[in-house]
Chains A and B, each alone.
Chain A
């Protein structure tokens, strides 16, 4: 470099200052982009959550009808109480309450049955079967109104719609107004949505079966995937020699984490159902498939948590004469635990929301109760959402959104747990 090319202090300063404006502008631009990206993401999140909540919140309010029914001995055979038409009894009692007389063809009572749930009839049947001495007495039954009726109360079926393009006619709407005004129909928190399982009637369908199914399936997944994953990762990271074979294994584990989940469903179908004859549609089967799916993620999370433990701890333990196993299990793994647990919980949360592989292994079936053990038929929350979304009744649509809310609540709880575990154990450093 010649002397002429060396800038003087003053000119150097000028050059730097001229560029300075540009540099600041660049920084401002970058910050702006960042903020915009976050705002867009938040908007989408708000839109998504807002839509789900506005669609689903109405499920948590239900309308129940209370009606006194005279158990007429003339119509209920004491010897065979199950043979009587309890729906008709309830319908006619409601008509009486409305001050109407049923016609000979039973047209009016038929119309009443369209606004009351058949749950009322079932309740009567159950009571009479348990205690036949009730026959001849008047007892009050309380049960949900039909989901279409509830939609009218919630304002989703409007009187302004022409009569022939809505499910309920004017007379039924009049009756319902009257029942509501008389206090026979009351509204409240929909407990049955959380205590009932799936049903063909939207007003009786709930998520309990799906919640229990999900919990059982997740338990199977956790019991299998977490210990196997953590131990496999520990072996690979701390004990296995670093050679071509372990490299190949590592690459393959990373690849497995990226395999589409439906492929795991196919694998489950081929291996667990066709070969090992695990009962289909059971929490055990779902748990096995999801455990396969969660394994690579848990292994990767555990390995990176183990890598993050400073080598000085290993040296310290080895230095006082701890064996390799003692070093790992007394010091390294406990220190990696927050990372391991976070990874495990997040991959279990992921498994909780998984639907595709479960469809492959036949979990998409109508299961009207809580699963009977790990090999019984079960459904799980995301699949329940899928099933209800495909249903034709309007009442199931709001339940779809409500089930999504329940699923999201569980997800949030699991993610919070992951954060808490991390915070709780990180203090030790």
Chain B
């Protein structure tokens, strides 16, 4: 968990800066709001990792979360589908709404939530099973497919959408772990797509990949944008600029600035954002 690392050391030294939330919203990209986060605080035991983060994520677009290591961007991402629930001692306060419903509400089952909000991780993590089984697993446990034929159809459709079908169509029953890193990551994306999520969270999906595989994934992200709401955490400013429509800059557990990607990169309001994107720190 990268976000846990150096937050506490830094808090004492840096004075809290309050960013007017509205300012971030002022120049929002078009499209209805899919995820609305308000005053989200996350604690790992006694350590606070996120401070009053409020952010709107629009539908059918890519929102990039950038910031130096340990700034809380992954923590925020994992709060959206409640992956933080699995970490002992982790506490989330504030509201995160998905289509107006609080994801932390007691009536929301994390299992259903995670089917609606899929996730792709930093390191490709296919199950050590066949390619087919990897993609079919989600639909199977959620009972989405009614028969074998339908399941096969879902697998094919998901792999096609993830741009992997052409490469694996003739070896669906070989282990998914035998694919290359980039292919594995696309397989994982296919696995996430297979349960028809509304949102796809991506936690540095290209950090373990070479530039060619990265380009392939970025292309894919751009294609998927039409159907899904995508939130991507990335360390690469260039990647954020290439794939996202909206960018949020996190620093020391706080959301410093959020806005249309073009504005953030060409005309940031905050000096820290400016310093970060020009490579002066981070």
Question: Could you list which residues of chain A lie within 8 angstroms of chain B, going by C-beta atoms?
Answer: 241-242, 310, 312-323, 326, 330-331, 335, 428-429
Chain A residue with minimal CB distance to B88?
A: A242
Is A320 within 8 A of B86, CB to CB? Answer: no
- What are 13 contact pairs spanning A and B, CB under 8 A? A313-B128, A315-B121, A315-B125, A318-B86, A319-B83, A319-B120, A321-B111, A321-B112, A321-B142, A321-B195, A331-B127, A428-B128, A428-B175
Q: Which residues of B contact A318 (CB under 8 A)?
A: 83, 86, 114
Q: Which residues of B contact A313 (CB under 8 A)?
A: 125, 127-128
**B123 at the A/B interface (Cβ < 8 Å)?**
yes
Report the minimum CB–CB distance from A300 to chain B (whole Å). Answer: 21
Known: A312-B123, A428-B128. A319 touches B118 (CB 8 A): yes
Q: Nearest 4 CB-CB pairs, A to B?
A: A321-B115, A312-B125, A320-B138, A319-B119
Question: Could you list which residues of chain B lie within 8 angstroms of chain A, going by C-beta atoms?
Answer: 81, 83, 86, 88, 111-115, 118-121, 123, 125-128, 137-138, 141-142, 175, 177, 188, 191-192, 194-195
Chain B residue with minimal CB distance to A428?
A: B128
Is B138 within 8 A of A321, CB to CB? Answer: yes
Q: Which residues of A contact B195 (CB under 8 A)?
A: 320-321
Q: Which residues of B contact A242 (CB under 8 A)?
A: 88
Is B115 within 8 A of A320, CB to CB? Answer: yes
Q: A313-B125, A321-B138 are in contact. List 6 more A-B contacts (CB 8 A).
A: A316-B188, A317-B137, A319-B118, A320-B118, A321-B141, A322-B138
Report the minimum CB–CB distance from A21 to chain B (whole Å). Answer: 43
Bound Cα distance A317, B142 (Å): 12
Report the minimum CB–CB distance from B132 to chain A (whole Å). Answer: 15
Bound Cα distance A335, B177 (Å): 14
Is A315 within 8 A of B138, CB to CB? Answer: no
Q: Which of A242, A310, A316, A429 has the most chain B CB within a 10 Å cutoff?
A: A316
Bound Cα distance A312, B121 (Å): 8
Selected from B113, B125, B141, B177, the residue in CB contact (under 8 A) with A429 is B177
Q: Which residues of B contact A241 (CB under 8 A)?
A: 88
CB < 8 Å A-B pair total: 67
Is B114 within 8 A of A320, CB to CB? Answer: yes
Q: Which residues of A contact B86 (CB under 8 A)?
A: 314-315, 318
Q: Which residues of A contact B127 (CB under 8 A)?
A: 313, 316-317, 331
Q: Which of A310, A322, A429 has the most chain B CB within a 10 Å cutoff?
A: A322
Q: Which residues of A contact B113 (CB under 8 A)?
A: 321
Bound Cα distance A429, B178 (Å): 9
Q: Which of B141, B177, B191, B192 has the most chain A CB within a 10 Å cutoff?
A: B141
Q: Which residues of A contact B115 (CB under 8 A)?
A: 320-321
Bound Cα distance A320, B121 (Å): 12
Q: Which residues of A contact B120 (CB under 8 A)?
A: 319
Selected from B112, B114, B123, the residue in CB contact (under 8 A) with A319 is B114
Q: Which residues of B contact A319 (CB under 8 A)?
A: 81, 83, 114, 118-121, 192
Is A320 within 8 A of B191, CB to CB? Answer: yes
Report the minimum CB–CB distance from A242 to chain B (whole Å). Answer: 5
Bound Cα distance A330, B142 (Å): 14
Report the minimum CB–CB distance from B209 to chain A (whole Å). Answer: 15
Chain A residue with minimal CB distance to B85?
A: A318
Is B128 within 8 A of A335, CB to CB? Answer: yes
Q: Which residues of B contact A312 (CB under 8 A)?
A: 121, 123, 125
Is A429 within 8 A of B114, CB to CB? Answer: no
Q: Which residues of B contact A317 (CB under 8 A)?
A: 127, 137
Chain A residue with minimal CB distance to B114?
A: A321
Q: Which residues of A contact B137 (CB under 8 A)?
A: 317, 320, 322, 330
Chain A residue with minimal CB distance to B124?
A: A312
Q: Which of B112, B119, B142 has the most chain A CB within a 10 Å cutoff?
A: B119
Bound Cα distance A76, B138 (Å): 83
Selected from B112, B118, B141, B175, the residue in CB contact (under 8 A) with A326 is B141
Bound Cα distance A323, B192 (Å): 15
Chain B residue with minimal CB distance to A331?
A: B127
Known: A321-B141, A326-B141, A429-B177. A316 touches B114 (CB 8 A): no
Report the minimum CB–CB distance from A234 to chain B (whole Å). Answer: 16
Q: Which residues of B contact A429 (CB under 8 A)?
A: 128, 177
Bound Cα distance A391, B83 (Å): 67
Q: Which residues of B contact A320 (CB under 8 A)?
A: 114-115, 118, 137-138, 141, 191-192, 194-195
Q: Which residues of A contact B191 (CB under 8 A)?
A: 316, 320
Report the minimum CB–CB distance from B103 to chain A (whole Å). Answer: 13
Chain B residue with minimal CB distance to A242?
A: B88
Q: Which residues of B contact A310 (CB under 8 A)?
A: 125
Chain A residue with minimal CB distance to B134?
A: A316
Q: Which residues of B contact A335 (CB under 8 A)?
A: 128
Report the minimum CB–CB distance from A308 to chain B (whole Å). Answer: 13
Q: Which residues of A contact B192 (CB under 8 A)?
A: 319-320
Known: A321-B114, A331-B127, A335-B128. A315 touches B141 (CB 8 A): no
Bound Cα distance A429, B125 (Å): 12
Report the minimum CB–CB distance from A422 to chain B (whole Å). Answer: 16
Bound Cα distance A319, B200 (Å): 10
Report the minimum CB–CB distance from B67 to chain A (whole Å). Answer: 21
Is A316 within 8 A of B125, CB to CB? Answer: yes
Bound Cα distance A299, B125 (Å): 27
Q: Which residues of A contact B123 (CB under 8 A)?
A: 312
Bound Cα distance A356, B25 (Å): 76
Chain A residue with minimal CB distance to B115?
A: A321
Chain B residue with minimal CB distance to A315?
A: B121
Q: Which of A317, A335, A429 has the most chain B CB within a 10 Å cutoff?
A: A317
